[in-house]
Structure 1
Amino acid sequence: VAATERAQRERLRDLAVFERVCSDPMRTSRSLAVKKINSQSNKEAEYYSFFVLLHMGCKIPKMANSLSFWYSQLPASIVRSKEMIFARTILRCYHLGNFKRFFCMIADEATELQLCLVEPFLNEVRARALMYLNHSGYKLQHHPLTHLSDILMIEELELEDLCRICGLEISRSGDTKAFAPKQTTFSLPTPLSKSSGIYISREIKR
């Protein structure tokens, strides 16, 4: 493996597990480094997007430098790829609380592997959405679960269970279930049960 290639992959934290010295993703040796970059691979951009998506749930060690700095070290073709644009936009929506766009983009644009990667975090994102809704609005302005289940792309019964896990009291008026904001009993549970994925109601499909 060329020294320049090895140095580049150390900088980008792109070392395979068996190439790392003492499990350090930014350190390898001449005797261990065997992987080669194929810049022509049509999957390369998607592989980099996986690393970005993993930052959503904070399941990987925090980088010494910012993610923005890491972006600056990537080839322009990777940064401008649709896979990386998707991953960066999803991460931005997650941090900014744009949950409607978050779930719509996942349903419309995520590859099968990207969806598998974000699926364990979906209920965590939904719980954050419930937190935002609970902390905003007026007490008399209830949030119908039917409407929220469409936005968060989850079946209504699963959403009701998630609300109760978060400490939200559900009220019922006829066939409509809803919760009122400003409930002091709300809390973000950890850990959350694994999501059943993305659910799109028949009304949305139409």
Structure 2
Amino acid sequence: MGVDKADTTELVDGVDVADSDDGFEITVTPADGVALGTDLGEDTDVLEYTHTELPDIADEADAYSLIPGRFYLNLEGREPRGSVPEDDYEEVRAELKAELEEMEGPNGEPVADRVVTKEDAFRGDHDDIAPDLTIVPNHGFDLKAGFKGRKNPFVEFAARNGMHSFDNATLLIDDDEARVSDVDLFDIAPTILDLMDIDYERGEFDGTSLV
């Protein structure tokens, strides 16, 4: 059981340790209303401690990451418990970018093909919510992240694994007039909308239709 250090819920009423033939015998007495794992009934509510929201980020954290490979500084005035002053934004981001570029896998392979800033990767009406840094991983690395830490990120797996890369995603189009050279992943969304005869503003997409 993992308990956040800031949580004050009383789970255990007492712990007794006694000598036994095999060494020690530990007896845990749960607090009122708390059932041990071996005593759970069908109607028992299971208490879980997970980190699922931005306020769960520690005050001393400089940055956090979300799927897939998006990194945000824990910025004062933007994040609920921001710790990085706005005046230090560029310096802290540059340091984080350098560390991400040097990150290696278990066999010494570089994890990042490149690390790009929000200014280079995003534009539009909502670029204010774009990540401060984004990792484009090398082949063989599937970047996942969240608020629950992992002791060994290269051997512990989540419920879903695997991800296409920028240069091996496939789109099959049954159209003789489709342009099949110089194709980019960004072209898929406007292509699908054209094939479905759905109107859209071309300025809303980075790619162009293939038909």
Q: Considering only CA atoms, is the larger Rg found in Structure 1 or Structure 2?
A: 2
Q: Is the helix fraction higher in 1 or 2?
A: 1
Which bin holds the TM-score, normalised by the shorter protein? under 0.3
TM-score, L = length of structure 1: 0.26
Q: Is the strand fraction higher in 1 or 2?
A: 2
